[in-house]
Structure 1
Amino acid sequence: MLVTRLWVALSNKNYVCITIVVCTLLLYACTSSTSNTTPTLPQHPTYASDIAPILIKNCVPCHKKNGAGPFELLNYEQVLKHAKMIREVTRSRYMPPWPADATYSQFLDQKVLSQYDIDVINKWVEQGKPIGNTKLIATNKTIATKALQPDMVLRMKTPYKIMGTNMDSFLIMKFPFEIPEKKYVRYIEFVPDNKRVVHHVNTNLISYFPPMHNSKLMQGNYYQNTLSGNKQQVYERLAIPNDDGTYPQLQISVCNYLPGMEAYKFPDGIGGYVFQKQGMLLVDELHYGPSLKDTTDNSYFNIYFMPNAPKRPTQEITLGTNGKSAVVPPLIIQPNTVSTHSTQIIVNQDVSLLNINPHMHLLGKRFVAYAITPKGDTIPLIKINKWDFRWQYVYTFNHMLKIPKGSTIYAFGTFDNTVHNVLNPFYPPRVVSERNGSMLTTDEMFQLIIMYLPYQKGDENISLKP
């Protein structure tokens, strides 16, 4: 089932010069206000009352079992072991990683430490890192781990072996399931096993609606190289068709993953998916980055159910590479140059934005997106002053964000193809481009992926916190 598109793309007219001027004038007019009142530091901060809450909000989402962080920070002993390093990386604002400019737009659960947070951590370390009230520790641990237990886990049939050829690999892989009854899914979380090689994952949901059935669901190949044939051939090898030879229903983009990305949790009544008694998660593209030595990956999916059917299914659109709007000028970045590219689209009805996902590769340096309404007002979406390929988030707004009909959404990306870019994959620099939508990290992409709903009165007052 393809998601209905409710957007109209613009023609490829070049409005770049005019829009950059508007952007420059308005970016600083839309910063969020902050309070001038700074809370007083506790005289004797402790782990239980002061440090754990800061870490749970800003660090534990990555520093947990199977998280993006290299170690866990779930208890006092783990934090104590890394306390001095935590102080240094927070004082320098190296951690936690949050690429978005918090003075431009605000997002749900943003990982931004206040100066108060940093000072509390520093004072706690200086005073000997006391543990504090152990009763609070039990409460903090419950808060940190309460959402970590999935209702169902879908695993690879066997770990996948990545050969040490220093080449990218792209796979189509199935994760079939059979369950006693239909279930409503709140969200789906991809958990990378080998984070050194797993780059990105795009996942679709295949559903077998009665009376259709697939008696070979658990048979056939479980993965195929994307270059091993056309889609029909690959699907037949994966044993996807119904028993009568027809194809089951497919819903695109139910779970995606990039480095640093967390699963999106839908609020009650919004979004979500339906698992029929028989179905599969079909990874339409699992990208393994280059490896110099043989290694394996055993990534999996956590599934979280909800009791009732969602009332408002979400929709998604991509601007830029592989999307509904062109990149202007075309994304061809000449060697020894820094270039800025844009993409834009007109909204043809009132919509409510839920989240946005900017995406670029190794040459990316800066990303800005905003909307201009028919009245000429600017709605800031996101600004990333220092693009970091390693940390790419789905940024969820605190409340639904209304974009009026007739507004234009603009996105600008700056790319650095010089020797000064330490992440440049080529030395000396060479021409880098989209290459027909290639997903290779050594090629480039420029995308803004938006999740939205048709607007309903009062949407802007609905909190997106699940």
Structure 2
Amino acid sequence: MFHKLIPLSFLLLLFASCSNNTSLPKEGEPVLFAEHIAPIIHANCSKCHNSQGAAPFQLITYKDVASKSKLVAYVTSNRIMPPWPADPEYTHFANETYLTNEQISLLNRWVNEGCLPGDTASLETPTILEKKWQSSEPDLIVRMQKPIRVPGNNTDLFMVVKIPFELPKDTFIRAIEFVPGNKRLVHHVNAHIIQFEPSKKSNLFDGNFLVNQDQTKSTTIHKELNLLNDDGSYAPMTPSVCNYLPGAQFSFYPKEIGGYKIGRKNAFYLNDMHFGPSAVDEIDSSYFKIYFGSEPPKRPVSEFQIGTLGLVPVEPKLEVKANEVKTFHITFPVPQDISILTLVPHMHLIGKSFWAYAIKPSGDTIRLIRINNWDFRWQYFYQPKTLLKIPRGSVIYVEGVYDNRAENPNNPFSPPRVIAERNGSMKTTDEMFQLIVTYIPWKKGDEAISME
């Protein structure tokens, strides 16, 4: 069986996805915003481009989109946006966010024909649309005790954070959503829940609520954050209840999959909260949304991680010399039948491409994911359209290419210098190579369970 591991999980979406369901004008008729362009924009782009979204400007009304029409045409034609790193010609995923050539042509034609409005009076109002794009109302919001201050010193900041909370009774949790307060700075978060027996923990809120990960020994973190029971023993921890990465979008798993049983006294334990470099002092007030369940979890979710900090290492050792392009591999035999829920590829700045697949005992290939042009800014939790079975005895192969040349615009150093995996360092200027897999033990019929 697998051991549960802590996965590595900056949401600054400029353009969101566009649906592949496109309404086309009849022959000889012009392209109109209301009839042809709005469905694309509203289906996906506006999910982030609204008054509550992460994007820097709104794209909902005709006026919104027409005023940005040349920009929209440019970034879509050059496939800068929407940001969907995975190669759609290799594997398809649930809720894919890429534009077809047909959609790009339609957008350009609309711009070239003068951005005609069409029957905009028939469109839903921004208020109605925004309600559709918002996630479900949570049952509980758990906030930090105080904002986190991020110094403007242009260096990465790694914190360990405690966010305690109490409930009136034991209950079940269906899902947990992390909401970054400062979307520009929060890079990744790994969150766990520590559960305390009421008789063994008198006060959850004593102690520090955060410590600097780089300056604190792991053996003292629990003491400084007051995460031990009153007698000094460790309380049980449920790992990886919620994780966050650049580009991450919250979604519920299918019914009966995932969830947790939880007691009255608890604390979110963020053992790794990473803030990217900032030139000015800033603050962050991230929080969690909790969605309760009505029944115990029937199929708990597990995770494993391969490569850096994982079950199997990167081969050869992850080190790229200055002005070198180098390929690395991860090989992992799957010890049981599993159904994959989520794939999370991870590299840092000089990552060039990422390719993962599995070979079944029969010799057949299961395509997992291929990213031809890795972009550190856009990292996703990729979910297959239906649960994906990987049989016991299959071998997962991962290939990563790294480009440490001066010509690489993402190279953090000029001139280039040696970049390597350094004792599990998560600094963006060091490197990592990982595949994180969320799964459940396979059951007959899993392949028919939709993830969309």
| Superposed CA RMSD | 2.6
Shift of 1:235: 1.4
Q: Cα gap change, 1:58/1:389 in structure 2, threshold over 3 Å: closer, same or farther?
A: same
Of 225-234 and 413-422, deviating more is: 225-234
State the shift of 1:232 in Å.
Answer: 4.0
Query: Paired residue for 2:13?
Result: none
What residue in structure 2 maps to residue 325 of structure 1?
Answer: 312
Cα displacement (A) at 1:297: 1.8
Give the letter aligned to residue 144 of structure 1.
K
Quick one: distance in 2 between partners of 1:303 and 1:131? Answer: 42
Q: Within 5 A, what are the aligned runs for 1:304-383?
A: 304-383=291-370
Change over 3 Å in CA distance of 1:218–1:46 after alignment to 2: farther
List alignment gaps of at least 5 residues for structure 2. 6-19
**Does structure 1 residue 108 correspond to structure 2 residue 90?**
no
Does structure 1 conserve the Cα–Cα contact (< 8 Å) formed by 2:22 and 2:36? Answer: no
Q: Mark the CA change 1:302 to 1:83 in structure 2 (over 3 Å): closer, same or farther.
A: farther
User: CA 1:217/1:190 → structure 2, altered by over 3 Å: closer, same or farther?
Assistant: same
Distance in 1 (alpha carbons) for counterparts of 2:152 and 2:162: 24
1:187 alignment partner in structure 2: 175
1:41 aligns with 2:25: yes
Counterpart residue type for residue 335 of structure 1:
A
Secondary structure, in 3 states, of the residue corresponding to 2:328?
Answer: strand
* Contact 1:187–1:263, Cα closer than 8 Å, also in 2: no
CA distance in 1, matches of 2:250, 2:303: 15
CA deviation after TM superposition for structure 1 residue 68, in Å:
4.2
1-structure distance, mates of 2:441, 2:357: 19
- Structure 1 gap ranges (5+): 8-34
Which residue does 2:399 correspond to in 1? 412
Q: C-alpha offsets along residues 106-136 of structure 1, whole Å, 9 cap, x if unaligned? A: 0000101123322333344435342635454
Distance 1:121 1:316, change over 3 A: same
Matched, 1:294 2:281: yes
**Counterpart position of 2:191:** 203
Q: Distance in 2 between matches of 1:122 and 1:144?
A: 27
The Cα of 1:282 is off from its aligned counterpart by 1.2
Cα displacement (A) at 1:319: 0.8
Give how far 1:266 is off.
1.2
With the length of structure 2 as denominator, give the TM-score of the two structures.
0.88
- Asked if the contact 2:22/2:39 (under 8 Å) is kept, the reply is no
Instruction: Note the 1:162-177 alignment, pairs <5 A.
Output: 162-177=150-165
| C-alpha spacing 1:236/1:161, structure 2 compared with 1 (3 Å) | same
Matched, 1:157 2:142: no
Residues 433-448 of structure 1: pairs in structure 2 closer than 5 A: 433-448=420-435
* 1:345 Cα deviation after fit: 0.5
> Does the aligned pair in 1 maintain the 2:159–2:272 contact within 8 Å?
yes
Q: Secondary structure at the match of 2:384?
A: strand
Aligned-pair CA distance for 1:143: 6.6
Contact preservation (8 Å) 2:32, 2:115: no
Given the superposition, is the C-alpha separation of residues 114 and 164 from structure 1 closer, same or farther in structure 2, using an over 3 Å criterion?
A: same
Distance 1:130 1:387, change over 3 A: same
Aligned-pair CA distance for 1:369? 0.2
Identity of aligned residues (%): 45
Matched, 1:141 2:129: yes
Q: Classify the secondary structure of the residue corresponding to 1:398.
A: coil
- The alpha-carbon deviation at position 462 of structure 1 amounts to 0.8
Report the equivalent of 2:244: 257
Q: For 2:75, what is the secondary structure of its paired residue?
A: helix
Counterparts of 1:76 and 1:280 in 2: how far apart (Å)? 46
Residue 355 of structure 1, CA deviation:
1.1
- Deviation at 1:64? 4.3
Equivalent residues in 2 for 1:225-264, closer than 5 Å = 225-264=212-251
Distance of 2:340 and 2:246 partners within structure 1: 23
One-letter amino acid matched to 2:3:
R
Which sits farther off after the overlay, 242-251 or 323-332? 242-251
Residue 119 of structure 2: aligned partner: 132
* Equivalent pair of 1:124/1:130 in contact (CA under 8 Å): no
Contact 2:66 2:115 in 1 (8 A): no
Which amino acid is 2:163 matched to? F
User: Which string of whole-angstrom CA distances, capped at 9 and with x for unpartnered residues, describes residues 260-302 of structure 1?
Assistant: 1222421111012334222121111111222222222222222
Does residue 69 (structure 1) correspond to residue 67 (structure 2)? The answer is no
Match of 2:387 among 400, 407, 418: 400
Q: Residue 57 of structure 1 contacts residue 109 of structure 1 at CA under 8 Å; is this kept in 2?
A: no
Is the CA contact (8 Å cut-off) linking 1:108 and 1:395 kept in structure 2?
A: yes
For 1:349, the aligned partner's letter is Q
Deviation at 1:201, TM superposition (A): 1.1
Query: Deviation per CA, 1:436-462, whole angstroms, max 9, x where unpaired?
Result: 110000000000000111111111111
The whole-number CA distance in structure 1 between the counterparts of 2:250 and 2:22 is 33
CA contact (8 A) 2:33 2:115 kept: no
Residue deviations 1:154-175 (CA, integer Å, cap 9, x gap): 2222222122222221110111
CA distance in 1, matches of 2:300, 2:104: 40
Query: Match of 2:12?
Result: none
Q: More displaced, 233-242 or 279-288?
A: 233-242
Kindly indicate whether the alpha-carbon contact (under 8 Å) linking 1:6 and 1:349 is maintained by their aligned counterparts in 2: no
CA distance in 2, matches of 1:66, 1:193: 12
Question: Match for residue 422 of structure 1?
Answer: 409
The range that moved more, 141-150 or 211-220, is 141-150
1:194 shift after superposition:
2.3
User: Structure 1 residues 72-81 or 240-249, which shifts more?
Assistant: 72-81
Q: Which residue of 1 aligns with 2:3?
A: 5
Provide the residue aligned with 2:203 in structure 1: 216
Q: Size of the alignment, in residue pairs?
A: 434
Counterpart amino acid of 1:101?
A: D
Counterpart of 2:167, as a letter, is I
Residues 4, 239 of structure 2: 8 Å contact kept: no
* CA gap 1:135/1:269 in 2 versus in 1, 3 angstroms: farther
Q: Distance in 1 between matches of 2:208 and 2:350?
A: 36
Deviation at 1:51, TM superposition (A): 3.0
CA distance in 2, matches of 1:212, 1:75: 56
3-state SS of 1:120 partner:
helix
In structure 1, C-alpha distance between the alignment counterparts of 2:333 and 2:430, rounded to whole Å: 28
1:108 is paired with a residue of what secondary structure? coil
| Structure 1 counterpart of 2:37 | 51
Query: Could you tell me whether the CA contact under 8 Å between 1:434 and 1:445 is conserved in 2?
Result: yes
Assess, with a 3 A threshold, how the Cα gap between structure 1 residues 349 and 169 changes in structure 2: closer, same or farther.
same
TM-score by length of 1: 0.86
**Contact residue 352 and residue 402 of structure 2 kept, 8 A:** yes
Shift of the alpha carbon at 1:142? Answer: 5.8
| Aligned residue in 2 for 1:18 | none
> Residues of 1 paired with 2:118 and 2:166: CA distance?
47
* Distance across 2 between alignment mates of 1:201 and 1:223: 14
Matched to 1:313, the amino acid is P
Q: In structure 2, do the counterparts of structure 1 residues 218 and 135 end up closer, same or farther at CA, with 3 Å as the change threshold? A: farther
Shift of 1:348: 1.6
